[in-house]
Each structure stands twice: as structure tokens, then as C-alpha cells.
Amino acid sequence: LYTYFREKKMPMDLREQVLAAINVEREVKELLGQKKSNGNFSCYNKAAHSNSDANPSLSVNMQSGLYICHACGVKGDIFQMIMDCTGMNRGKDFGKVLKHMAAKYGLQANSIKFDKKPEVKHQGLGILTQQGTFISIPIPNGELRYPQ
């Protein structure tokens, strides 16, 4: 998600503002229904379960909005859950979900444009060194070739 904010040049705090305002428990219950007797929810990704998630395996942290299904491995935050449960594309529709949730909880997101393509100045290879520094190496013509 950080990459999405950086590429779209959005204020980093909008996601945090929405997350602070959102009622995670209410949103999860609207999407998944009530918790089951074992304290978990039924996973929305039932096709990935051999038993259609007969023993509910999706855990949700109601403070952070993070979730994981211990059976199929699907995981993410409340925004990703909303996208997955409503058939939206995780890669393309984050801005729409963020804007919708901001409006739903009374936050101002009208001035932010979500459909603008990021400006690519050059293509490069990013390398994280052992010392923790990030190096960007430009690649001519955007082509990465391996030595023959």
C-alpha cells in the first residue's frame, strides 16, 4: 500500500485517518457476518478451502483491521477485505475503497484524484543492501538482460 500512496502522490495520513475513524468490527460483521463459536469468522475465500471452511479459520484483529485465514493463507487489512468481498481489484481499486470509506465516516477525500496514472521517469532496478540502504540502478530502455 505504501507504493500506492507514493505513486499516486497521496497524503500518507489519509489512510491513517480513515483507519482511525473506521469501525472495523462493524465493517467486518457487514462483510462476514457474526463470529462463530470458535471465535473466528468463516473465510470469504471458500473456493480455496477443501471443506468450504466448515471449521471457521479467519482471524481478525479488531483494533488494527488486519486479518489472516489460517487455512488458506489469505491475509491483509480491512481495505483489502472490503475489496476482496465486493469483487474489486486489489491493485486498481484501493483509491475507490479509501474514498468511499472516507465519505462513509465523514472525512474529506473529495479533493484527491485516484484515477491519475503515476509518472514514470525511468525504469530501474531497486536493490536493498545488507546495510539497509536502497540503491536504484537505471536500466536503459527498461530492459533487464541476464548475462549469456
- The two most distant CA atoms of the chain are separated, in Å, by 59
> Which residue did the predictor score with more confidence, 57 or 127?
57
pLDDT for residue 54:
77
Neighbours of 8 (CB within 10 A): 16
pLDDT for residue 116:
47
* Residues 62 and 28: beta-carbon distance below 8 Å: yes
Predicted confidence (pLDDT) per residue in 37-64, tens digit: 788 898 888 888 877 777 888 999 998 8
Task: Give Cα 40 distance to the centre of its chain.
Answer: 21
Neighbours of 44 (CB within 10 A): 17
Predicted confidence (pLDDT) per residue in 15-38, tens digit: 888 888 899 999 999 999 888 878
Q: How confident is the model at residue 10 (pLDDT cuts 50, 70, 90)?
A: low
Q: How confident is the model at residue 1 (pLDDT cuts 50, 70, 90)?
A: very low
* Residues 85 and 43: beta-carbon distance below 8 Å: no
Joined grid coordinates for residue 86: 465486493
Element (H, E) at 92: none
> Which residue did the predictor score with more confidence, 138 or 42?
42
